[in-house]
Amino acid sequence: MRKIAKFVLCLVLGGILPLVTYSCGDSSDVVADDFNVQFNLPKTIDVSKGGECVFTVVDGGAPQMSDSFILESDAGISYVCHFATISSESFTVQLSDECETGYYNVYIKRDTRKKPVGRIYINVVDGLNFTPDAGTTIYGIVSSVEGAVKGVVVSDGVEVTTTDENGIYQLRSAKKWGYVFISIPSSYEVPSDGVLPLFYQQLKGNANTAERMDFTLKKVSGQDTYKVFMLGDMHLANRTNDSKQFLEFTSDLNSYRNLHPNEKMYAIALGDMTWDLYWYSNNYALPEYLNTINSQVKGLQIFHTIGNHDYDYKTTSDFDAESKYMHYIAPTYYSLNIGKVHYVVMDDIDCSNYDGTTSRNYEKRISSEQLDWLSKDLAYIDKSTPLVVVMHAQVFYPTETGDFKIDHDVVNTAQLFSILNGYRVHFVTGHTHMNFNVTPESAVTDGRNFYEHNTGAVCASWWWSGNLTPGVHISPDGTPGGYAVWDVSGTNLQWMYKATGWSEDYQFRSYDLNNVHFSLADVPQMPDNVSASIKKEYMKYVDAYPANSNNEVLINIWNWNPYWTLTVTDEAGKELTATKVWAYDPLHIAALSVKRFNSASLTSVPSFITEKFPHFFKVQAPDADTDLRITVKDEFGHVWTENMQRPKAFSTDAYKTK
């Protein structure tokens, strides 16, 4: 690296725009082609404030010292920059002190004539006594008010490097993804644009143009202890009364934050913030999502994950499908450090087979390119560091045999596991709108220290239950709509599920099955001639909950994992046997499924109806009047108890949020 005594940056290394000349219409101040000025105009330049830029003359078309070099911003503000030197080969322009970073239209003005030359991105940077190595296409400095920050990991999504002792990084980047990002180091934060943390920058030049991209960090103290909110599928689409229900969620989140005013807090959205179909039919897309979340949530950085509904379905390649997300939200994969934990956000939705229609033929797969990047990223992370790997779609899925299966592309998932081998890994995912947990004891983890936390959805059943039965916000497995709250202290991680509109103590729900009953009488508007396949789907609920007096009690513990315990005793103190079962949640059936099947226009099986899931338990009481004490305890020592008075009536009104 060569030092230079004076910082005069002239980036004409490549990506040069040819001279653009054209008529500018009726303006008396503009006549384009009656004086000869021609020079190479790069797409982007880096220059210090008020610094000098050198341009190469083409075909003898040098300007005159009496000419003016004018930069016009997109806001319509014109800056007159004076020539410092002019020769037949090149000329030097002194940048106006008022010029800020941004795009500009370039003009040469001679007397009353104003000649358009082209468009340029000017990056106004602090002086840097440094010249990038040959072949470098992205470089810059990472610093805080305390000075340069050494050892910060920087990447373009392909190449990975670190800053040197002067905080300087260099990348020989092909600029495939069009951005550069840092892996935020521990004990630092980045600035925000609303809820979006600014850990990345969009590139402006082509692959042959060297660009300077600096990052500013803020040093923070006490970051070893903090909360992270895991925000599952939101599906905002301007439908099913979602805006009102979403406000109830953000109000709950803000209220929870206010209860913990002295704690550091961050959030990670798990994907499907939007719903691609309604980008077009309802004019609600990623910009509208940002407007909504920024108007309702203040002072909280939300790191984002791309979900299958955050891709543009009207495209025919994975890159094009995710381009809007990268423009408005963030890179589709990246990493960061908060305290002593390393977080990796991955894109596990492959849209390579998209055909421009609503078929959305995607696959759950992590690309080989991401896996290569992950290997490079983790080369800087010690095996003792806990990893939280966030992606939209689930890695595993429960089976009725009692364990789990891999629910991803097998080949690339095997490579992912190999890369993560030796780390303690917590996968955090969404997508299913259900809630389940995989622990290392599962056979599917093959002895690895792997967990998965498939987190319930903010929108629950795509906002349908709260629309059909106001106040009952519930997912197809009976999990209430809500979000996960992770408490991190050093390398110790704890988690719980927080239901929207309820206190933290709402962790399970009990049903006295003597009083739970569904029949065809509940759906009087269902047509008599409805197809057998539709009727069969509804009859699953009738068969599961016929009228009976077997004195059974069903308990739904939605965040259950094998480290939890359930104890049920009757009023005489006798402990009853609880049996783990797959079941349909009765509240979801009543609040959503019954109402969707009860339609005179029913011609197909309704979407988002109740699904059978494994986080249920059954106990049999001695008789219909015996009260029960239900005690649930998690692995962190939290205990939740219900003194269940029986007979216990069943109705949707009993579970409505206030």
- Domains assigned to the chain: 16-125 (2.60.40.10), 138-215 (2.60.40.1120), 222-499 (3.60.21.10), 509-655 (no CATH)
For residue 635, what are the CA distances in angstroms to 299, 368, 560?
31, 36, 10
Task: Specify whether the CB–CB gap between 423 and 344 falls below 8 A.
Answer: no
Give the C-alpha separation, 656 to 360, whole Å: 35
pLDDT of 50 reads: 85
Task: Spell out, as residue ranges, where the chain has pLDDT lower than 70.
Answer: 1-33, 658
% residues pLDDT > 90 (the chain): 86
Cα atoms found within 13 Å of the Cα of residue 107, Cβ hemisphere only: 25
Write out pLDDT tens, residues 175-195: 999 999 999 999 999 999 999
pLDDT of 23 reads: 30
CB neighbours of 57 closer than 8 A, spacing ≥ 6?
Answer: 38, 39, 87, 88, 89, 90, 91
Q: What angle do CA 98, 102, 107 make, to 5 degrees?
A: 75
pLDDT of 33 reads: 55
Write out pLDDT tens, residues 128-169: 778 899 999 999 999 999 999 999 999 999 999 999 999 999
Crossing angle for the helix pair 410-420 and 368-378, to the nearest 10 degrees: 0
What is the pTM assigned to this prediction?
Answer: 0.87
Task: Specify whether the CB–CB gap between 47 and 80 falls below 8 A.
Answer: no
Please give the sequence-ordered ranges of beta strands (E in DSSP) within 172-314, or none if there are none. 179-183, 188-189, 192-193, 196-197, 200-202, 211-212, 215-216, 218-219, 225-231, 264-269, 302-304
Q: Do the bridges between strand 225-231 and strand 264-269 make them parallel or antiparallel, or are there none, so unpaired?
A: parallel
Q: What angle do CA 152, 451, 566 make, to 5 degrees?
A: 140
Query: Per residue in 374-392, is it b (16+ CB within 10 Å) or e — as a string?
Result: beebbebbeeebbbbbbbb
- The number of angstroms, rounded, from the C-alpha of 194 to the middle of its chain's C-alpha atoms is 14
